[in-house]
């Protein structure tokens, strides 16, 4: 069976610029402070890279691997009804940055790219950034209009809250 194609261009654009948004797409950007220190960073990075953050939010993730690496296919299922197939387009695991981005495949309600990046700043503060660019692909996403975009922003905030909870109690 041939490999599914991405439903948008430019694939991988969030890797170098989380604020990038091509014409005709809508941006999503959310940043959440998770805590401080190396151990908080390690815990957050592991939770993001292994889909644990998503599962903690009640999101079902079916993937071809246990960890985010380029080329891994995953299907995100929301509320048992909405299935969103995508593929990891980039992943990073460095001493101060860890995360990944996925690009949409055929059957996804949207088309675009979404990134989940944990970083530790110079002062030791650990942050989660969720950034995306997207536009409606399926009829029900188009019909939702601004409400659909509102749900995307709420999802980004929920990611931050779930990850902050997973990191609670982790100390340096």
pLDDT digits (tens, 9 = 90+) for 17-59: 999 999 999 999 999 999 999 999 999 999 999 999 999 998 8
- The whole-angstrom separation of Cα 113 and Cα 8 is 8
Average pLDDT score over residue span 140-153: 73
Asked whether 84 and 78 are in contact (CB, 8 A), the reply is yes
Residue 86 burial (10 A CB sphere; 0-12, 13-18, 19+): buried
pLDDT at residue number 1: 46
Q: Which domains does the chain have, with CATH numbers?
A: 26-167 (3.30.530.20)
Tell me the whole-structure pTM to 2 decimals.
0.93
For 8-19, how does the pLDDT look when each residue is reduced to its tens digit (9 = 90+)?
999 999 999 999
């Amino acid at each position: 069976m041939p490999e599914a194609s991405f439903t948008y261009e430019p694939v991988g654009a969030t890797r170098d610029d989380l604020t990038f948004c091509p014409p005709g797409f809508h941006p999503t950007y959310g940043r959440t402070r998770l805590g401080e220190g190396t151990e908080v960073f390690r815990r957050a990075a592991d939770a993001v890279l292994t889909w644990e953050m998503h599962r903690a939010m009640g999101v079902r993730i079916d993937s071809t691997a246990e960890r985010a690496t380029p080329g891994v296919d995953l299907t995100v299922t929301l509320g048992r009804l909405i299935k969103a197939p995508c593929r990891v387009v980039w992943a990073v695991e460095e001493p101060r940055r860890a995360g990944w981005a996925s690009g949409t495949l055929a059957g996804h309600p949207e088309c675009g790219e979404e990134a989940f990046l944990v970083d530790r700043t110079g002062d030791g503060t650990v942050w989660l950034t969720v950034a995306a660019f997207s536009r409606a692909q399926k009829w029900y996403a188009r019909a939702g209009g601004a409400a659909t975009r509102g749900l995307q922003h709420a999802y980004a905030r929920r990611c931050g809250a779930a990850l902050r909870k997973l990191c609670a109690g982790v100390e340096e």
